[in-house]
Amino acid sequence: MTLSDSIVRWRYRLVPDHLLGEILTKRWVDNAIPLLILACVMAVFGSLIPDFFGAASVSNLMRQWGEFGLIVMALTIVMVAGGIDLSVGSIFALGNIVALTLMHVAELPVPLVVLFTMACGAAVGLVNGLLVGFLRLRAFLTTLVTLIIVRAVVDMILLKYAVAIAAVFPDSDFWFFFGEGYVLGLPFSVVLTIGVAIVLHLVLSRTRAGWHVLAVGGSRRSAHNVGIPVRRVICATYVVSGTLAALAGVLFASRLGAAGADIGIGLEIAALTAAVLGGNSLGGGRGSAAKAVIGSVTVMIMVNSLVRIGITSGGSSLLLGLVLLGAVMIDVRWLKNRQKFLSKVYVSPTYSALPAAPATDGASPYALNDRLRPVEAIGLDRIDGPEDVILDANDNIYVGNRTGDIVRFLAPDYDQQEVFAHVGGRPLGMAFARDGSLVVCIGGMGLYRVTMDREIQKLTDETNRSWFSVIDDSRLRLADDLDIAPDGRVFFSEATVRYEMHEWPVDCLESRGNGRIICFDPNTGTTRTVLKNLVFPNGICMVHDGQSFLFAETWACRVSRYWFDGPKKGTVETVIGDLPGYPDNINRASDGTYWLALVGIRTPALDLALKMPGFRRRMARRVAPDEWLFPNINTGCVLRFDESGRVIETLWDRSGDNHPMITSMREHKGHLYIGGILNNRVGRLKLDGVDETWTAKRSYWGQS
Amino acid sequence: MIGGLTRMIDSVFGRGDAAVTVPSLDGALRPNRALDEATDRASLQTVDCLAMFGDTLVASAGAELFELGSNGTWDRRTDLGSTITCIASLPDGIVAALQNGDIVVHGGVRDGRRYRLDPASICMTDMAYGEGTLYVAVGSATKGADAWQRDLLERNASGSIWRIDLDSGSASRIAAGLAWPAGVVVDGNGLVFSEAWQHRLARVDLERADTPRVLIADLPGYPGRLSKGADGFWLAMFAPRSQLVEFVLREPAYRSRMMAEVPEAYWVAPRLRSGRSFYESLQGGGVKHLGILKPWAPTMSAGLCVQLDRSFQPRSSLQSRADGATHGVTCAVEHRERLFIAARGDDVIVSVARESLVTDREDGR
C-alpha cells in the first residue's frame, strides 16, 4: 500500500462522513440554524452589555419571556396548521384588562378569574376559528379585523374601568404568585410556559390530534382526502391560540397590574418574528414547541438588549422587521434546498481496498467454462425476480417475486404455478424450519414465517437500537438471507441500514460496513444484533457442526465463518478472502461442501475507484445515478467450496444468455435450482455424480 | 487571475468547464435503430475506412484492402504490408496512410509512390484529395492511431492538419494544436475537419489560412471521418460521449491511476465496442433486468452516423443503440445511391438505400 493510500485510508477511517447525511435526514436538524442564531445573539449582546448574564438581568428577562413564550406558542399552533393569527397581541391585551377588571373591580376568586379570562380568549379564538375554519375566510384578513375589533373592546373597557382598577389593590398572595412567585427557583410564568411547551411538544409529536394539525398544515387537501376533519382542526387551533394568549394576559396582569392603552401593541409582529426565526414554516406543516421556544428566547433577548443599549423604539422595530425578513428568507431557502443538499451528501463512500482478484482463466479454480449452458428455464417470463429458491419435501419450488408474493411451482414438471402467499414486501432469503413452516426474510418488512396452511406470521421487524447510531437502526430495512440453527434460533443478515431495498447497489459505492447479522430466538421471542459493521452481509448458511455459520459479505468479496456456540463462540474467521466477484447466497451441497452464488464479477475500474473515496463521492454528486460506475452484476456464476475455503468447482454461463443474473442456488435431489433477483426464470441444472436422494431438509432436520 | 478563480469555483460546484453534462440525442439525432435495421450487412474483420477507387468501393481492414464485388461480397485486393490507418480516393486511384508513417498511392499514374509528412507523424486519421493536393489529418503528435483512448484520457491536443503536394511531395502544416482531428473533407475553397476531443466540426479557409471557424459544437459523440455525399456530407461518430467519461476526464488522479493500473481493455473510456467482457465497468442503467439490456442504457460504444447538410448542420442520423449490433462507426461513404457504413466495433459493413433513408427520417420527425 502506498503512502497516499494509507493517508486516504486513515482519513476515511477517522472522519465519519456518513454522519452529515444521516443528521440531515433528521427532523430536528431544522432547529440547527435557529439555535445558531440564538447562540450568535447571546454572544453579541453578552459581550456588548455588561452584566448580561447576571442574576437580576436573567430573572427579569425570564419573567417577560414566560408571557412572550406563551404568545409565540399560541401563534405557532395556528401556523403549524397552515394559518396565521395576528390577533394574539390584542387578545393578550384583552386578557390583561379582563383579568384586572375581574380581580380588582368584580373581586372574584382567583381560579374563577383565570378561568373566565381564558374563556374570554377562547371565545375570541372561536370567532377566528369559525370565520377562518368553517366560513373559509382568509386567515390574514380575518385575524387583522379581529385584532382591530378586540383592540377597540379593550379601549372601551379601559375607558370604563381604568380608574377603578388603579384604585383597588387586591389582597391575594395567590394572585400575585402568578406574576412574582417562584417554583423550584424559577419564576412561575417560566415554569408554566415550559410546561405548556412540553405538553405542546407531546401533542404535536405523539398524539393523533397533533398529527392532524401537522397534516392539515402540510397539505390541506391530502388531509381532507384521508378523512381528517380539516375545518374543525383549523377552528380548534384558533381556540387554543386565543386561550394561550389570554393566559399570557393573566400573567402580565398579575405581574404589573397596569391597565395601559399601549399594552400588546406590536406584539403580533414580535411573536411572528420569533415563530419564524425559530424555524416554524409560514406555509404550515413544519413546526414544534422547541422552535417556538428558541425563536421566542432569541427575539426576547434582542428586544430587551436593544432597549438596554439605548436604541430608540423606532430602531428596535426596524431591526425586528429586518430580522423577520431575514428569517422568512432563510425559511424559504432552507425548505427548498434541504432535500437537494441531502441527496448530494447522503452517499458517502469510504476507503475499501480489495485484495487482488484471482484470474478467471487458465488453471484457476474460477476458470471460465460453459457448465451452465444445459440449464433449463422454469417459469420463463412468468416470474419476476426470484431472489431465492427453495424446495419442499414434495419437490415443489418456492420463490419470491418483485410484487410481494411467494410463488409455488408445482412438481413434477413445474408448468403450473400458484401464489402460495402474498406477503406484500420483497421476499428474499428463505429456509424451512423444523416444523415445516417457511421462514422468509422480507425486504422492507423483516423476518416472517409462512406456515404450510399459508398463514403469515411476523417473527420480528426490529432489533436493539445502537447507542451511537444517528439514524434509527432498530427497524429492519433490508433483511436479506437467513438460516436456522439446530436449536431453532434464526440468524439473518440485514444488508444495509442506510439504504432501502431498491437502492442496494448504491451501498456498493459506499462500501462501508453498513450491514449486520441479527439473531431471532423463537424460544424467548427476542431479537438481538450479533455482528455489526459488515460490508453488505448477504448469504448465511449453517455449518454442519451446529455451532457456527458461514456468511458472505458482498461488497467485501469474502466469505467468513462465525461461531455462535461452542468453545470458539463469538469469533469470526475469514474462509475465502479474495473472491473474484460479489458473493450472494450460500447453501449446503450434498457432499458436505457449500454452494455459493457470485452475483457479479469485480471490474478493475471499480476496484480502483473503491480505493478513491473522493472520486466516488464526487461521482455521486455530479453524475446521474443511471450513469454511476456500478458493480458488474450482469454476469455471475455458481461455485462450490469447502469449510477450509478451498474452491472446488465453478459453474459459468460464458455467453450470459442462458441464465443471466444469479443470486442463489439450492441443491435438491441431484439438481441445482438457480434464482436471480433481476431474472425472469428459475434455472434447473442436472448435477452429475451426486447423491440423488439428498435434500436440504434432511440435511438440516434429519429423517422426519 | 479571475479565470483561475472561476475555474476553482466551477470545479467545486461542477459548473462551467467542470460540468459533466452531455447534450441529449434530440432533433436530427433522435435515437433510432436504422443501423441495426439495415438488412444489407457484410461481415469484414477489423474493417475501418471506406473510399472509392474509380467506380469501385474499397475498404481497408488491417493491412489489407478489400473491394466490393458485383455480387455484394468483399474480395481481397491487396496487402500493403503495414496496418492501414486510413484511405482516401484520388481521381485515378486511392491513397492509403500506414501505421509506419508512410502514405502510399495505390493505382493510377502515381501507383506505388510514397509520401511522408515528417518523421514523427504516424497517426494519420483521415485524408481528403482536392486539386492535386492531399489533405491529411494527424490525430496526435505523440500517439499512434490505435492509442486514441489514451490520447483522450491524457487530454492531449497535439493533432495537426497537413497538405501534401502530390506532384512535388512537399508537405506543409495548415493547423496545429488540435484535439485529435479525426476527419477532413474539402468544401469549396475551405477544408472542414472534425476535432474529436472537442466534439466539434471546424472549417479552415485554404486561401487565407486563418484560424479555424467552428461550424457546429458540442456534438453528443466523438466526431470522426467526414465524406461528401450527393446532397451534403456524412459524419461518422465513432463513439458516444457519456457523463461518466466526461467526469473521469475531470478527475486527473483517477485517470492517471487507471491508465497505470487497469488493463487498457477495461478502462472507463469510450470504445468502438463495449459490453463484451464482464471485466468492463458497468453503469447503473446498464444493469440487465429480466435478461434484457435497455436500449437507453448508458454505454461506452454505440453506432452513430450523421447526415449533414451543405452548411454542416445535422439533418438526420442512423444509429445503433446500447443493445444494438452495429457499434463503432468509423466511416460512411455514398456509392451508387446507397450509403455504406463501416462499423469497426462489430466488424461489419452495412448499407442502406439513400432515398429510403432521407424520407424515412423526415417522416419520422
Domains of chain A: residue spans and CATH: 14-343 (1.10.3470), 376-463+473-701 (2.120.10.30)
Specify the pLDDT at position A283: 84
Domain B28-273+297-364 has CATH 2.120.10.30: yes
CB contact under 8 A, B244 and A608: no
Q: Nearest-CA residue of chain B relative to A402?
A: B290
Write the residue in A618, A678, A681 that is nearest to B287 by C-beta: A678
Confidence of residue A422 (pLDDT cuts 50, 70, 90): very high
Among A residues 350-409, those touching chain B with beta carbons less than 8 Å apart: 381, 384-385
Kindly report the number of other CB atoms within 10 A of residue A656's CB atom.
Answer: 17
A349, HSE (Cβ side, Cα atoms, 13 Å): 24
Spatial separation of the C-alpha atoms in residues A491 and A495, rounded to whole Å: 13
Partners of A597 in beta bridges: A638
Alpha-carbon span B160 to B175, nearest angstrom: 5
Identify the pLDDT of residue B12. Answer: 76
At residue A265, does pLDDT exceed 70? yes
- Name the DSSP letter for residue B18: G
With CB atoms and an 8 Å threshold, state whether B247 touches A661: no
Q: Who among A629, A656, A680 is closest to B281 (CB)? A: A629
Contacts of B22 (CB under 8 A, 6+ apart): B220, B241, B242, B243, B246
Per the listing, cell 456468511 goes with A551
B244 in reach of chain A (CB within 8 A): yes
Are B42 and B50 in contact by the 8 Å Cβ rule? The answer is no
Whole-angstrom Cα distance, residue B49 to residue A341?
Answer: 49
Q: How far is B297 from chain A (nearest CA, A)?
A: 8
Q: How many residues does chain B have?
A: 365
**Which pLDDT belongs to residue B363?**
45
CB contact under 8 A, A635 and B291: no
Quick check: B282 and A627 CB within 8 A? Answer: no
Question: Which pLDDT value is given to residue A703?
Answer: 65
Instruction: Give the pLDDT of residue B67.
Output: 92
What rounded mean pLDDT belongs to chain A?
89
Partner-chain contact B262 A381, CB within 8 Å: no
Q: What is the pLDDT of residue B360?
A: 47
Chain A CB within 8 Å of residue B262 CB: yes
Chain B residues touching residue A627 (CB < 8 angstroms): 242-244, 283-285, 298
Q: Minimal Cα distance from B19: which residue of A?
A: A622
- Residue among A601, A603, A615 whose CB faces B254 most closely: A615
| Half-sphere exposure (Cβ direction) of A11: Cα atoms closer than 13 Å | 13
Residues of A in contact with B279 (CB under 8 A): 601, 603-604, 632
Cβ contact, residue pair A629, B268, below 8 Å: yes
Chain B contact set for A620 (CB, 8 A)? none
Helix axes A55-80, A88-100, angle to 10 degrees: 120
Q: How far is CA B39 from the centre of its chain?
A: 23
Strands of A469-547, DSSP E: 479-484, 490-494, 515-521, 526-534, 537-542
Q: Which helix (H) or strand (E) holds B237?
A: strand B232-240
Separation of alpha carbons A33 and A31, rounded Å: 6
Flag if B282 and A608 touch (Cβ within 8 Å).
no
What's the rounded Cα separation, in Å, for the pair A667 and A645? 19
Q: What is the pLDDT of residue A343?
A: 80
CA distance A611 to chain B (A): 10
Chain B nearest CA to A628, separation (Å): 5
Residue of B nearest to A656 (CA): B291
Would the CB atoms of A634 and B289 count as touching at under 8 Å? no
Number of A/B CB contacts below 8 angstroms equals 110
How far apart are alpha carbons A67 and A63 in whole angstroms? Answer: 7
The total of other beta-carbon atoms located within 10 Å of residue A492's CB is 29
pLDDT recorded at residue B358? 57
State how far residue A631 is from chain B, nearest Cα, in angstroms. 6
Q: Quote the pLDDT of residue B359.
A: 46
Query: Is the predicted pLDDT of residue A628 greater than 60, yes or no?
Result: yes
Distances (CA, A) of B189 to B127, B205, B207: 16, 6, 7
- For the CA atoms of A434, A435, A439, A445, what is the dihedral angle to 10 degrees? -130
Which chain A residues contact residue B242 at CB under 8 A?
627
Task: Please answer whether residues B285 and B294 qualify as being in contact, where contact means their C-beta atoms are separated by less than 8 angstroms.
Answer: yes
Using pLDDT thresholds of 50, 70 and 90, give the confidence band for residue A201.
very high
Question: Across-strand partners of A595?
Answer: A587, A640
Asked whether the beta carbons of residue A612 and residue B257 sit closer than 8 angstroms, the reply is: yes
Closest Cα in chain B to A631: B282
Does the beta-carbon distance from B288 to A612 stay under 8 Å?
no
How confident is the model at residue A49, as a pLDDT?
81
E-only strand ranges, B13-132:
40-43, 47-53, 56-61, 64-68, 74-79, 84-90, 93-98, 103-106, 114-115, 124-130
CB contact under 8 A, A604 and B14: no
Mean pLDDT of A320-331: 83
| Contact residues, chain A, for B286 at CB < 8 Å | 630, 634
Closest Cα in chain B, distance from residue A74 (Å):
42
User: Which of B14, B258, B280 is the closest to A608 by Cβ?
Assistant: B258
Along the 365 residues of chain B, how does pLDDT read in single tens digits?
778 888 888 877 777 777 888 999 999 999 999 999 998 999 999 999 999 998 899 999 999 999 998 888 999 999 998 999 999 999 989 999 999 999 999 988 889 899 998 888 889 999 999 888 999 999 999 999 999 999 999 999 999 999 999 999 899 999 999 999 999 999 988 999 999 999 999 999 988 877 889 999 999 999 999 999 988 999 999 999 999 999 999 999 999 999 999 999 999 999 999 988 889 999 988 888 888 889 999 999 999 999 999 999 999 999 999 999 999 999 999 988 899 999 999 999 999 988 776 544 444 44
Residue A286 has φ and ψ, to the nearest 5°, of: -135, 115
Residue A457 at interface with chain B, using a CB cutoff of 8 Å: no
Q: How far apart are CA A689 and CA B89, in angstroms?
A: 65
Lowest pLDDT segment from A48-57, A198-207, A679-688, B308-317: A48-57
For residue A573, what pLDDT is reported?
Answer: 95
Q: Is B10 on the interface with A (CB under 8 A)?
A: no
Q: Which residues of B touch A8 (CB under 8 A)?
A: none
Question: What is residue A413's three-state secondary structure?
Answer: coil
Sequential DSSP letters for A231-277 = HHHHHHHHHHHHHHHHHHHHHHHHHH----SSTTTTHHHHHHHHHHH
Provide the total of helices (H) and of strands (E) in chain B, helices listed first: 6, 25
| pLDDT > 90? residue A239 | yes
Q: What is the mean pLDDT of residues A320-335?
A: 82
How far apart, in Å, do the first and last CA atoms of chain A sit? 54
**Beta-carbon separation of B247 and A619 below 8 A:** yes
Q: Kindly determine whether residue A625 and residue B284, on different chains, have CB atoms separated by under 8 Å.
A: yes
B84 in Cβ contact with B104 (< 8 Å): no
Partners of B247 on chain A (C-beta within 8 Å) are 618-619, 622-623
CB B290 within 8 A of CB A680: yes
How many residues in chain A? 704
pLDDT digits (tens, 9 = 90+) for A480-501: 999 999 999 999 999 999 888 8
- Within 278-317 of B, beta carbons closer than 8 Å to A belong to 278-291, 293, 298
Domain ranges, ordered by start, for chain B: 28-273+297-364
Contact A66, A187 (CB under 8 A): yes
* Mean pLDDT in residue range A245-252: 92
The 3-state DSSP class for residue A353 equals coil
A623 touches chain B (CB under 8 A): yes
Hey, how many other C-beta atoms are within 10 angstroms of the C-beta on B111? 11
Distances (CA, A) of A596 to A215, A539, A583, A650: 49, 8, 7, 9
- The answer to whether residues B125 and B137 touch, using CB atoms and an 8 Å cutoff, is yes
Q: Does A424 touch chain B (CB under 8 A)?
A: no
Q: What is the pLDDT of residues A183-195, one digit of tens each?
A: 888 888 899 999 9
Whether residues A603 and B282 touch (CB distance < 8 A) is answered with yes
Distance between CA atoms of A152 and A165, rounded to whole angstroms? 18
- Both ends of chain B: CA-CA distance in Å? 47
Q: Locate A182 and state its grid cell.
A: 417562584
CA distance to partner chain A, nearest, from residue B249 (Å):
12
Which residues of chain A neighbour B285 with C-beta distances below 8 Å?
A: 626-627
Locate B111 and state its grid cell: 501507383
Which of A384, A609, A627 has the CB atom closest to B283's CB atom?
A627
Residue recorded with cell 450434498: A590
Judge residue A565's burial from the number of C-beta atoms within 10 Å of its C-beta, 0-12 exposed, 13-18 middle, 19 or more buried: middle
Name the pLDDT band for A25 (thresholds 50, 70, 90): confident
Q: Residue B290: its chain A contacts at CB < 8 A? A: 381, 384-385, 678-680
pLDDT-derived band at A1, boundaries 50, 70, 90: low
- Closest by Cα among A465, A375, A389 to A432: A389
Q: Which of A333, A307, A65 is nearest to A197 (CA)?
A: A65
pLDDT digits (tens, 9 = 90+) for A358-399: 988 888 899 999 898 889 999 888 988 899 999 998 999 999
Q: What separation in angstroms does the CA of A238 have from each of A130, A243, A293, A611?
A: 9, 9, 19, 58
Query: Quick one: which of A463, A520, A517, A466 has its CA closest to A493?
Result: A517
Q: Is A635 on the interface with B (CB under 8 A)?
A: yes
* Cα A156 to Cα A358: distance, rounded to the nearest angstrom: 92
The C-alpha cell of A440 is what? 422468509
Contact B266 A626 (CB under 8 A): no
pLDDT score at A389: 94
